[in-house]
Amino acid sequence: MTESIALTSERSTHPARRARRRRTLRMWAGKVLQGVLTLLLVSVLIFFATQLMPGDVAKVILGVNATPERIATVRQQLGLDQPIWQQYLSWLGGILHGDWGVSLTNGVPVADTLSIRLRNSVALGAMALVIMLPISLVVGVVAAQRKDRVFDSIFMGSSMTVNAVPEFVLGTVLIALFGTTVFHLFPPVALIPPADMPWWHPMEMVLPVTTLVIGGVAYLSRLVRVSFIDVMNSEYIQTARLKGLSTRRILYRHALPNALAPIIPAASLVAAFLIGGTVVVEYLFSYPGIGLTLVEAVNNRDLPLIQAVVLIIASAYFVFNFIADLLSDAGSASRKG
């Protein structure tokens, strides 16, 4: 009798699980479709926005002394004499086939230019994340354990101040303190040859990485603090204390794993926000990444390069936000289970 009841209960739970999995898959598929449509809309906005930039591309290439005949020839070669919607479809089709176009400044394929610059930007962001995450965890936990005490008050005040300061201002302060005559410990600009690996020049990387790390730690450590305080005030932690478990065991066995659950999606969001900060930091420190490439392309009105960089940044931002959503949904599902 008991076995039949158990089998009946098990059979009844299988359809519920399958239905829940189908709902989850449909939800994720909907988010993927929404993301693809969003990127398609972004590509439209990027293309048409760059077309509205002042000046004629053909005149930029040939110079102010070019004859109307030569300008007309270049416009025909570049396809600029076609209707705007045909130009967009041609550009989008090329991207889908791996052809990002040719730089109008130096005639080099955009993909070749971005392959090195993108690698440098990824290296900069990865270094910042690797340093930022453990520091944020330690600082957030320490502040939570000392809630409403001196360390916590100093931490909350300083983190709110840092979050209110733009990366450009923060980087400028670091340059003034550590890259000029005050201390002069590190180079004020990251003059790294684009073909070199960034980690071959550790001294040049210190200030750009530190600028990103400070802002990220100020934000993420506050999330760690709030999450850890909530967990430590939960009923099962109070029960563990009443059972006489040691503080060390409560901290590392019970509190930290549960406190990290909402922080992992936040780390993906921090990685997304790093993309915008990287553009500013690269320009400030003359770091040879896609941020500096974007600024140079705008100054030179290099439309294919501008379009490619902005589309890459938008795509990366979407991917990190999508990962954060998936991790958040997975964490919610595991807690409900």
φ/ψ of 255, rounded to 5, equals: -75, -50
Q: pLDDT 10s digit of each residue in the chain, 337 long?
A: 444 544 454 454 566 677 777 777 777 777 778 878 888 888 888 888 877 766 666 666 666 666 777 777 767 766 666 777 777 888 888 888 878 888 877 778 888 888 888 888 888 888 888 898 888 888 888 888 888 888 888 888 888 888 888 888 888 888 888 877 777 788 888 778 877 788 888 888 889 999 989 888 888 888 888 877 777 777 766 776 666 666 666 666 666 666 666 666 667 667 777 777 788 888 888 888 888 888 888 887 788 888 888 888 888 877 777 777 776 665 555 545 4
CA-angle at 177, arms to 175 and 179, nearest 5° = 45
DSSP string, 95-149: HHTT---B-TTT--BHHHHHHHHHHHHHHHHHHHHHHHHHHHHHHHHHHHHTTTS
In the prediction, which pLDDT does 10 show? 47
Distance CA 145, CA 138 (A): 11
CATH number at residue 190: 1.10.3720.10
- Encoded tokens for 214: 């400070």
- Same domain for 220 and 180, yes or no, is yes
- Same domain for 245 and 211, yes or no, is yes
Within-domain flag for 105: no
- Same domain for 235 and 326, yes or no, is yes
- Crossing angle of the two packed helices 110-145 and 202-232, in degrees rounded to 10: 40
- Same domain for 191 and 313, yes or no, is yes
Within-domain flag for 8: yes
How many domains is the chain partitioned into structurally? 2
- Same domain for 75 and 175, yes or no, is no
- Same domain for 183 and 316, yes or no, is yes
Within-domain flag for 102: no
In the prediction, which pLDDT does 252 show? 64
- Same domain for 144 and 203, yes or no, is yes
- One-letter identity of residue 335: R
- Same domain for 142 and 280, yes or no, is yes
In the prediction, which pLDDT does 149 show? 85
- Same domain for 228 and 250, yes or no, is yes
Within-domain flag for 127: yes
CA-angle at 249, arms to 248 and 254, nearest 5° = 120
- Encoded tokens for 114: 């971005």
Please check whether residue 294 is in contact with residue 198, taking contact to mean a CB–CB distance below 8 angstroms. Answer: no
Please check whether residue 187 is in contact with residue 260, taking contact to mean a CB–CB distance below 8 angstroms. Answer: no
Residue 32's contacts (CB-CB under 8 Å, 6 or more residues apart) are 322
Q: Reduced to 3 states, what is the DSSP secondary structure of residue 333?
A: helix
Within-domain flag for 156: yes
If one counts every other C-beta atom within 10 angstroms of the C-beta of residue 159, the result is: 22
**Final residue before a domain boundary, out of 44, 71, 96:** 96
Within-domain flag for 103: no
- Crossing angle of the two packed helices 150-164 and 110-145, in degrees rounded to 10: 160
Within-domain flag for 104: no
Within-domain flag for 275: yes
- Same domain for 91 and 121, yes or no, is no
Q: Which residue has the tokens 């929404």?
A: 34
**Final residue before a domain boundary, out of 71, 96, 121:** 96
In the prediction, which pLDDT does 6 show? 47
In the prediction, which pLDDT does 12 show? 47
- Same domain for 213 and 301, yes or no, is yes
- One-letter identity of residue 120: N
- Same domain for 171 and 284, yes or no, is yes
Range of the domain at 77: 2-96
In the prediction, which pLDDT does 263 show? 67
pTM of the model as a whole: 0.76
Distance CA 105, CA 305 (A): 9
Read off the DSSP letter of residue 1: -
**Final residue before a domain boundary, out of 96, 129, 153:** 96
